[in-house]
Amino acid sequence: MSQTAQNSVQTILPAKSFRGSVRLPGDKSISHRYAMLAGIAEGTSRFTNFSTGADPHSSLACMEALGAKVEKHADGTISVTGTAGDFRQPNQPLDCGNSGSTMRMLSGLIGPHPHTFTLIGDDSLTLRPMERIRKPLAQMGARIDLVDGHAPMTVHGGPLKAISFDTPIPSAQVKTAILFAGLQAEGRTSISESVRTRDHSEHALRAFGATLERDSNSMSIEGGQKLKAIDATVPGDMSSAAFFLCAALLFPDSNLVIDDLGMNPTRAALLDVLSGIGLRIKPLNIEDQHGEMIGTIQVNSSAQLSGAEINGALSAQLIDELPVLAAIAPYTRDGIRIRDAKELRVKESDRIALTAQNLRAMGAEVVEHEDGMDVPGGQTLRGGKVDSGTDHRIAMAFSVAALRAQGPTEVHGAEAAAISFPEFYTLLNSLAER
């Protein structure tokens, strides 16, 4: 990999197959939540396989700034001694880095505390919408200042009151911010969602000792509950696994084993879609840890890949995995059609525009829509130059697509992968047979 101070170029050579076994870094979504709840809990929590990505470590740094003690041990474990429900006034802004998860969820956690908090982030984070967080927290009594709906965000904390809230946009981050605030508010807070989002927050809250009630499309939490520290192993990250699963899908003689993977049912839609396209998935074992399902799976590919249509609730469930699905769509027989995914335009980049741009740079036809794209199947990709747009998922998606391209592919801005998955290129190259 050649590298400059600000930009790195990873050259991906075509592969003949994709084989081996891998254990992935801890799930980012779970790591964020464990870090924050440990920071407000009583006692010292210890985490094994905590995410190595930069984003969850932004959450850890914010916990330190709020008074928690964070220790990173030589064996990779992380311990967090919490504040027992008493965050202090930080002496500087809370730096969320590139992490929208940190900014949105943390705003709910700090909202009930009688201090003024300023949350900042990098240039990408200041472009992402934050009004969706301000509205419910303001209804609870928090005063939140934004700049045209974006960060920097100033939270003027204080006592909050419970609300009943219908989430207008499917968002686990918005749901989590409300649950974290409701945990400390006066009364019982209720949330309804038309599309069920990932439920890591509910499992994490219960693991730390909170009581929640849930039915098919709503949940409630009583305020005034205290949390106790836990010891936990973070499951392997399904969003990171998506890249390796898609790589295995591209080669008929692939054979990939993924150990200790998070198998949460609200994240399993990816496995269903890939299975429909042609990935054969064999669970080797599954167990429960703190409400999260962890399993080892073996996968290989069918001789011919069909295609997929992704829309409605499925688009919301797969929002993080859509770029890599679109990137491999040319190799399928029937292509992949994506709709109802306008949220992709306000991620770390405009992922619809950038995915379409990079597919065209590799010689593919693609039709871009405001809320998705159509990528026809039966196409041949050629090596070329693609641009990550400093977006980790775009960098990794087109590194996977490059494995079946004709000729080498240069991924510009490859360093973006470290935001969520620093080991990505090392593991990808170890599994790609050339």
Nearest to 401 by CA among 297, 344, 323: 323
d(CA 340, CA 371) in angstroms, rounded, equals 5
Amino acid 217: pLDDT? 84
Contacts of 74 (CB under 8 A, 6+ apart): none
Backbone phi, psi, residue 24, to 5°: -90, 155
Q: Identify the helix (H) or strand (E) that includes residue 46.
A: strand 44-48
d(CA 132, CA 173) in angstroms, rounded, equals 10
The residues carrying an active-site annotation are 320
Cross-strand partners of 293: 288
Handedness of CA 100, 103, 104, 105 (dihedral sign): positive
Find out whether the peptide bond into 168 is cis, omega within 30 degrees of 0. no
Amino acid 5: pLDDT? 33
Give the max Cα distance, the chain: 61
Contacts of 429 (CB under 8 A, 6+ apart): none
DSSP label at residue 278: T
Q: At what angle do helices 200-207 and 172-182 cross, to 10 degrees?
A: 30
Amino acid 328: pLDDT? 98
Backbone phi, psi, residue 361, to 5°: -65, -25
Q: Identify the helix (H) or strand (E) that includes residue 394.
A: helix 392-401
Amino acid 284: pLDDT? 95
Amino acid 93: pLDDT? 98
Amino acid 3: pLDDT? 35
Contacts of 271 (CB under 8 A, 6+ apart): 245, 279, 281
Q: Does domain 2-26+235-433 have CATH number 3.40.50.2300?
A: no
Please state the pTM of the whole predicted model.
0.89
Amino acid 1: pLDDT? 37
Tens of pLDDT along the chain (434 residues) come to 333 335 799 999 999 999 999 999 999 999 999 999 999 999 999 999 999 999 999 999 999 999 999 999 999 999 999 999 999 999 999 999 999 999 999 999 999 999 999 999 999 899 999 999 999 999 999 999 999 999 999 999 999 999 999 998 889 999 999 999 999 999 999 999 988 888 999 999 999 999 999 988 899 999 999 999 999 999 999 999 999 999 999 999 999 999 999 999 988 899 999 999 999 999 999 999 999 999 999 999 998 999 999 999 999 889 999 999 999 999 999 999 999 999 999 898 999 999 999 999 999 999 999 999 999 999 999 999 999 999 999 999 999 999 999 999 999 999 999 888 999 999 999 999 99
Ordered alpha helix ranges (H), 143-256: 172-182, 200-207, 238-249
Backbone phi, psi, residue 322, to 5°: -60, -40
The CATH number assigned to the domain with range 28-232 reads 3.65.10.10
Residue 48 near residue 80 (C-beta atoms within 8 A): no
Residue ranges, CATH 3.65.10.10, the chain: 2-26+235-433, 28-232
Amino acid 268: pLDDT? 84
Amino acid 194: pLDDT? 87
DSSP label at residue 235: P
